[in-house]
Amino acid sequence: MEATDRKILQLLAEDGRMSYTDLGKATGLSTSAVHQRVKRLEQRGLITGYGATVNYAAIGVPLTAFVAVQPMDPSQPDDCPERVADLNEVEACWSIAGVESYMLKVRVATPEALEELLGRIRSVANVSTRTTIAMYTYYENRPTLTH
C-alpha cells in the first residue's frame, strides 16, 4: 500500500467524519482524488465501516469485562461465536490461542447483570468461563496505522 493511502487510512481512523476536502488538504490531493481513493479503499476491503466513539457509562453500561470461554466438551462443534452472537451485551468475540478458545468483550450495567450474562453465555454456548473485569479504560479503539 502506498504512503498516501496509508495516510488517508490513518486520518479516517482518527476521525471517520473527516471531509474529503480536509483529507485533501492533509494529503495534498484534490477533493475528487481523495474521494476516488477512499472509494477504492472501501472496495478493496481496507475500510470496512465507520463508527462513533460511545461513552458507555453515560448510556448505562459502565462495566466492561473480558470473558474467556472454553468448551465443556472439546468434541462439540466449534460454534461459540454463532451461539453468543445474539447476546447484545457481547461487543466483540476473538478466537484466541491458549487454554481457552475465545475471548468475549462484554458491557453491562452492574455486577449482577454480569453474573446473569455469564449464566446465559454458559447455557447457550455450553462453555465454562473465566472473567476479568476492567476497572478503568485509559484508551480504546486507538488507531495503530503508524507502523
DSSP string for residues in 26-86? HHT--HHHHHHHHHHHHHTTS-----PPP-TTTTT--EEEEEEEEESSTTS-S-HHHHHTT
Locate CATH 3.30.70.920 in the chain. Answer: 56-134
With residue 143 as reference, give the H or E element that holds it. Answer: none
pLDDT score, position 112: 98
pLDDT score, position 128: 96
Task: Give me the residues of the chain with pLDDT under 50, please.
Answer: none
**Bridge partners, residue 64, by sequence:** 107, 134
CB of 22 closer than 8 Å to CB of 57? no
Relative orientation angle of helices 3-14 and 31-43, to the nearest 10 degrees: 90
| Fold category of 56-134 in CATH | Alpha-Beta Plaits (3.30.70)
The distance of Cα 94 from the centroid of its chain, to the nearest Å, equals 9
Q: Which three cell numbers stand for residue 32?
A: 475528487
CB of 79 closer than 8 Å to CB of 63? no
pLDDT score, position 77: 86
Q: Model pTM? A: 0.82
Q: 3-44: which CATH number, 1.10.10.10, 3.20.20.80, 1.10.390.10, 3.30.70.100? A: 1.10.10.10
pLDDT score, position 74: 84
pLDDT score, position 139: 87
pLDDT score, position 105: 98
Contacts 24+ apart (CB under 8 A), 17-25: 17/50
pLDDT score, position 147: 54
pLDDT score, position 146: 59
DSSP state, 123?
H
pLDDT score, position 23: 96
CB of 106 closer than 8 Å to CB of 93? no
pLDDT score, position 14: 87
Locate CATH 1.10.10.10 in the chain. Answer: 3-44
